[in-house]
Chains A and B, each alone.
Chain A
Amino acid sequence: MSVSSLFVLIILGVVAAFYFSRTRSLNLARGLGGIKNLHSLPVYYGIQAALWCALPCILLLCVWTIFDDAIIRSMVVQYLPAEQQNLPKAEQALLLSSIENLANGVNLSNAGQFQDIADRINSLRSISNMALTVLLFCAIIATGAWGWFKVKPQYRARNGVERVFMLSLLGCSTLAIFTTVGIVFSVLFESIRFFNIVPVHEFVLGTQWSPQLSIREDQVGSSGAFGAVPLFTGTLLISTIAMIVAVPTGLMTAIYLSEYASSRVRLVVKPLLEILAGIPTVVYGFFAALTIAPMIKSGLHGLGFDLAFLGVSFGPLEVSGESALAAGLVMGVMIIPFVSSLSDDVINAVPQSLRDGAYGLGSTQSETMKNVIFPAALPGIVGAILLAVSRAIGETMIVVMAVGTAARLTFNPLESVTTVTVQMTTLLIGDHEFDSAKTLAAFALGLVLFIITLGLNFFALRIVKKYREQYD
């Protein structure tokens, strides 16, 4: 039987175990004079039996389906001719997978001479499947029956069920830890492999980035150049532009909304600004690339600076169609609501007594803001800005769509630069051999990105938390 029909079988068994155990507990209770004589409610006896049936059987099914291919494979190796048995591991694996394809009825490569082995795989598979079916059938009946027999008036079914329930809740909450561990491992291992090919100092300090230059497959070590400094400067440039837009606007918005605006204005303006945070980044990217970039190009092109008294004169401005300015501006607009809502929280957390004190001494609202509230809220605001910076650094779609892929070491916002995230996507789209320096480089960049954003978040959260405690 197929895995899905076996699964249905298990479910049927579980339902039966539930029903019969519950009925049995009810019958027992009737004999004793009502369910008050049972330790737990009948439904718990049912659930208890169902769990006893479900957990072992599902485990069996999973373990079997995960391992049976590997076991069959190791059994098949001995049928291979002697010369194939002595092949290196990788080639043998390739051969085996082509034989398996043959067994599945797909003859992609010239594995025709192994038809007999393919047949053998098929027969082994059907044996394994039969064994699984029989075993599972027995297991369902055995575990179900066991659960049924355990139903006794004194039996503490509820406690058992609640323990399983609690453990599953715990399991769900630890998923967050597993995710982090998964991220760290997936990024770290590939990065270590990358740093075996390209030395760390070359990656961190090199100023040449051209990963596409590989000429031959076996030339991994010497292919291209992996100096990531242009990517870092590009990311920094775009994030700086974004921050120049987002921080003053977001901060002033927060100040106005929390100190000046009437509650009605607040009620209207705040959700309207939050819209900016809800728009998908792909839309911003589209907007940056097709509307803002051409606007900047046509608006600034031909504008020249002639600062003759400084002895400097620039000719007509060269504006790239993929300028860092366009991406940075749009990214800044995207981050405005982020900065404003975070700083709004911080400003509102400053106690009213500080304001009243300042007003009592005769300061105007803006003076109170500038001299009292702002300094008091500064740590929190810094935290908010750090979070915004980490957002800008990790932002992908806007830069992928609006910025080029050529790595240039420049701080001119009108030129095209590239960022860490852009390079990660260009390196990984399409090509998925995990052994070329090119794809591994993406993971190394991911590691850098992860470390930087994690560090920023960690500090920001600590600052915000510490500051909040001050006034609580």
Chain B
Amino acid sequence: MTDKPLKTIDRVNRTLGKRHRAEKRFRLYGMLSIGFGLLCVLFLFTNIIGKGLNGFTYHFLELQVELDRETLEITDITNENQILAANYSGVVKRSVYEFFEAQGRKNKASARKLIATEGTGYILQGRLKENAEDLVDTQTTVWALVDDKVDFYLKRLGDPGEPGKHEFNEQQLQWIHEAVEAGKLKRKINWAFFNAGDSAHSEEAGIRGAVMGSFYLLLVTFCLSFPIGVSAAIYLEEYAPKNKWTDLIEVNINNLAAVPSIIFGLLGLAIFLAFFGLPRSTPLVGGFVLSLMTLPTIIISSRAAIKAVPPSIRQAAYGLGASKMQVTLHHVLPLAMPGMLTGTIIGLAQALGESAPLLMIGMAAFIPEIPAGVTDPATALPMQIFQWFRNADAGFNEKASAAILILLVFLIIMNALAVWARRRLERRW
């Protein structure tokens, strides 16, 4: 009886538990990896948002500033040069001493260090430029920028180890806390961040220049890559004969889609900058490089869109006597346009986040001016983030996080637009 051969069903039953456990394990691995991926998304976003929101706010001190002629060193208020060159930090310093009731040289120096006198001076300068006559010789209230160390300390008050505290002496700490309790030292949204260009001081640095630079970059990229990409896609789908030359073009497009972006930077550097002598750090050259980079994306998605147009449409048009070009331009292209636009927006979103090629053509530069055209030296959002990241100053790191948030907001808008375009405009045949 014992050596009776096992029935298959018994053998199956004997191992079934083990096999089911293996099945469950396998499933668990799958869920774990998805969980890991989702966790990464969550962690990344909470981390970035948590850090980034700090960068939009800053601490300001409510100061009463006496704008008298003598201290400002203005003799003639209609003279613009005098208004520009006036001694604003002088009046700011004086009101700081008054505010903290600082006496003696040492105390005055301590008080002065709590405020960004230059940055506050610029605010006053801006006001006087607009309306000097009414303001000079009066007292005005200004939300003065505090020093970035004060801001750093106040933003991390609850943190363990009290970061930034060792920068201040007893007197300064007492002043800071008194001002906070009195409601004079407040955390407010730093509008300068949205309106200003880059600056050497973190409290004055803004994102405007980088946003405009990125805008011009994308403008050039779009103007070049969209028509060229669509034309290439039309040629490859509608006209190209099946031969070696067409194969070569297709192989090249597929390969270019996978070439590392930094190589495109080398191309821009050697061809556009060194050979053609185009100006460095400009959105024009950056746009050239980025359009070469986004072309494969646009061509591939445009081809898919053209392919999706049913042949019956073409045949109907031919039947009515349209020529090949008329069929393509009047019928195929309008129907494929939503798909092409979706692909283009996705390509442009990639271009917006791209950094390595721009690094190569010198767009990681300190450019405080806001660019006004495609041939002005400019930086771009990713480059600005990189620049601020490299800066050792803690204030700039905060700015970089905030800039990342802005970049992500733009990317989300663009991708949402692409999804919307696809949903809204797509036609099913």
Q: Which residues of A contact B (CB under 8 A)?
A: 158, 161-162, 165-166, 168-170, 172-177, 179-180, 182-183, 185-187, 189-190, 248-253, 255-257, 260, 269, 272-273, 275-276, 278-283, 285-287, 289-291, 333, 336-337, 340, 362, 364-367, 369-370, 387, 390-391, 393-397, 400-401, 421, 424-425, 428-430, 432, 434, 442-443, 446, 449-450, 453-454, 457-458, 461
Chain B, range 71-89, C-beta contacts under 8 Å to A = none
- In the complex, the answer to whether B33 meets A172 with C-beta atoms within 8 Å is no
CA distance A457 to B263 in the complex (A): 15
Majority secondary structure, B binding face: helix
Given contacts A421-B262, A425-B262, contact A282 B415 (CB under 8 A): no
How many residues of B are in contact with the other chain, CB < 8 A? 84
Q: Pick the interface stretch among B57-65, B145-153, B172-180, B232-240.
A: B232-240
Contact of A286 among B23, B267, B404 (CB under 8 A): B404
The answer for the CA separation of A458 and B254 in the assembled complex, in Å, is 9
Q: With CB as the reference atom, state the residue of chain B lying closest to A249.
A: B33
Taking CB atoms, residues of chain A closer than 8 Å to B349 are 278
The 6 closest A-B pairs by CB, nearest first: A394-B260, A280-B353, A256-B30, A186-B270, A366-B26, A172-B231
Determine the residue in chain A with the shortest Cβ distance to B386. Answer: A282
The distance from the CB of B16 to the nearest CB of chain A, in whole angstroms, is 9
Distance (Å) between the CB of A103 and the closest chain B CB?
17
Cβ-defined partner of B228 (8 Å) among A175, A252, A336, A394: A175
Q: Mark B384-396, 1 if CB is under 8 A from A, else 0.
A: 0110010000000
Inter-chain contact A425/B41, CB cutoff 8 Å: no
> Which of chain B's residues has its CB closest to A425's CB?
B359
Q: Contact between B232 and A172 (Cβ–Cβ < 8 Å)?
A: yes
Stretch at the interface among B129-137, B193-201, B245-253, B312-320: B245-253
Taking the complex as formed, is B110 at the interface, i.e. its CB lies under 8 A from any CB of chain A? no
- Given A176-B256, A253-B33, A425-B360, A279–B23 Cβ distance below 8 Å? no
Most B Cβ at <10 Å: residue of A186, A333, A442? A186
Known: A162-B323, A364-B19. A174 touches B249 (CB 8 A): yes
- Of the candidates B33, B274, B295, B359, the one whose C-beta lies within 8 Å of that of A434 is B274
Complex CA–CA separation, A165 to B238 (angstroms): 13
Quick check: B259 and A453 within 8 Å, CB to CB? yes
Q: Is B102 an interface residue (CB 8 A)?
A: no
Contacts A362-B12, A432-B280, A457-B258 known; 14 new A-B pairs at CB < 8 A? A176-B249, A190-B270, A249-B33, A276-B41, A276-B44, A280-B382, A281-B353, A396-B260, A397-B356, A397-B382, A425-B262, A432-B274, A453-B258, A461-B254
Which residues in B have their C-beta under 8 angstroms from that of A269? 34, 38
Query: Is the Cβ of B40 less than 8 Å from the Cβ of A179?
Result: no
Give the interface centre of A170, A250, A421 by most chain B CB atoms within 10 Å.
A170
Q: Which residue of B lies closest to A174 (CB)?
A: B249
Q: Is the CB of B231 within 8 A of A286?
A: no
B354 contacts partner chain A, Cβ-Cβ < 8 Å: yes
Q: Please, which residues of chain A bring their CB within 8 A of the CB of B231?
A: 168-169, 172-173
Of the residues B232, B324, B354, B400, contact of A173 by C-beta under 8 Å: B232
Shortest CB-to-CB span from A163 to chain B, Å, is: 10
17 A-B Cβ contacts within 8 A? A173-B235, A175-B295, A176-B253, A177-B249, A179-B292, A183-B259, A183-B264, A253-B30, A276-B41, A286-B48, A286-B404, A336-B37, A340-B37, A424-B262, A429-B359, A446-B262, A453-B263
Q: Given the interface contacts A180-B256, A396-B261, does A252 sit within 8 Å of B29 by beta carbon?
A: yes
Query: A362 to chain B: which residues have CB within 8 Å?
Result: 12
Task: Please tell me if B397 contacts chain A, counting CB pairs below 8 Å.
Answer: yes
Cβ-based interface call for B325 (8 A): yes
Question: Is B308 on the interface with A (CB-CB < 8 A)?
Answer: no
Chain A residue numbers with a CB within 8 Å of B304 are none
B295 contacts A287, CB within 8 Å? no
Residues of A within 8 A of B353 (CB): 278-283
Q: Chain B nearest CB: distance from A44 CB in Å?
A: 10
Contacts of B359 in A (CB 8 A): 396, 400, 425, 429
B255 near A458 with CB under 8 A, answer yes
Contact B240 A173 (CB under 8 A): yes
Tell me the minimal C-beta distance from A249 to chain B in angstroms. Answer: 4
Chain A residue nearest in CB terms to B276: A66
Q: Which residues of B contact A432 (CB under 8 A)?
A: 269, 273-274, 280, 362
Inter-chain CA distance A393–B38, complex, in Å, is: 25
A287 lies within 8 A of B266 (CB)? no
Query: What are the residues of chain A within 8 A of B263 when measuring CB–CB?
Result: 183, 187, 394, 446, 449-450, 453
- Contacts known (A283-B408, A424-B262); A364 close to B23, Cβ less than 8 A: yes
Q: Are B37 and A253 in contact (CB under 8 A)?
A: yes
Closest Cβ–Cβ distance, residue A89 to chain B (whole Å):
18
Q: For the complex, what is the distance from the CA of A122 to the CA of B273, rounded to whole Å?
A: 26
Cβ distance B417 to chain A, nearest Cβ, rounded Å = 13
A182 to B274, alpha carbons, bound, how many Å?
13
List chain B residues, Cβ under 8 A from A449: 260, 262-263
Which A residue's beta carbon lies closest to that of B19?
A: A364
Q: Check if A256 sits within 8 Å of B27, measured CB to CB.
A: yes
Other-chain contact of A260, B19, B30, B415 (Cβ < 8 Å): B30
Which partner residue on chain A sits nearest B238 by CB separation? A169
Give the CA-CA distance A309 to B221 in the complex, in Å: 63
Q: Which of B27, B267, B270, B385 contacts A179 (CB 8 A)?
A: B267
Contacts of A282 in B (CB 8 A): 353, 355, 382, 385-386, 404, 407
- Residues of A with C-beta under 8 A to B324: 162
Does A162 contact B262, Cβ atoms closer than 8 Å? no
B residues less than 8 Å from A387 (CB atoms): 258
- Cα-based distance from A189 to B266 in the complex (angstroms): 12
On whether the beta carbons of A186 and B356 are closer than 8 Å, the reply is no
Q: Which residues of A contact B235 (CB under 8 A)?
A: 166, 169-170, 172-173
Instruction: Report A127 CB to chain B, min CB distance, Å.
Output: 24
On whether the beta carbons of A286 and B401 are closer than 8 Å, the reply is: yes
Q: B397 contacts A290, CB within 8 Å?
A: yes
> Which B residues are in CB contact (< 8 Å) with A170?
235, 239
Q: Which residues in B have their C-beta under 8 angstroms from that of A395?
A: 260
B20 on the interface (CB 8 Å rule)? yes
Nearest residue in A to B361 (C-beta to C-beta)? A428
Q: Which residues of B contact A275 (CB under 8 A)?
A: 41
Chain A residues within an 8 Å CB radius of B30: 252-253, 255-256, 260
Q: Which residues of A contact B261 (CB under 8 A)?
A: 394, 396
Residue of B nearest to A172 (CB): B231
Q: Assess A286 versus B31: contact at CB under 8 Å? Given A177-B248, A177-B249, A269-B38.
A: no
Q: How far is the CB of A445 from chain B (nearest CB, A)?
A: 9
- Please determine whether A396 and B262 come into contact, CB atoms closer than 8 angstroms: yes
Which chain B residue lies CB-closest to A245? Answer: B36
| Cα–Cα, bound, A387→B255 (Å) | 11
- For B401, what are the chain A residues with a Cβ–Cβ distance below 8 Å? 286
In whole angstroms, what is the CA distance A252 to B29 when docked?
Answer: 7
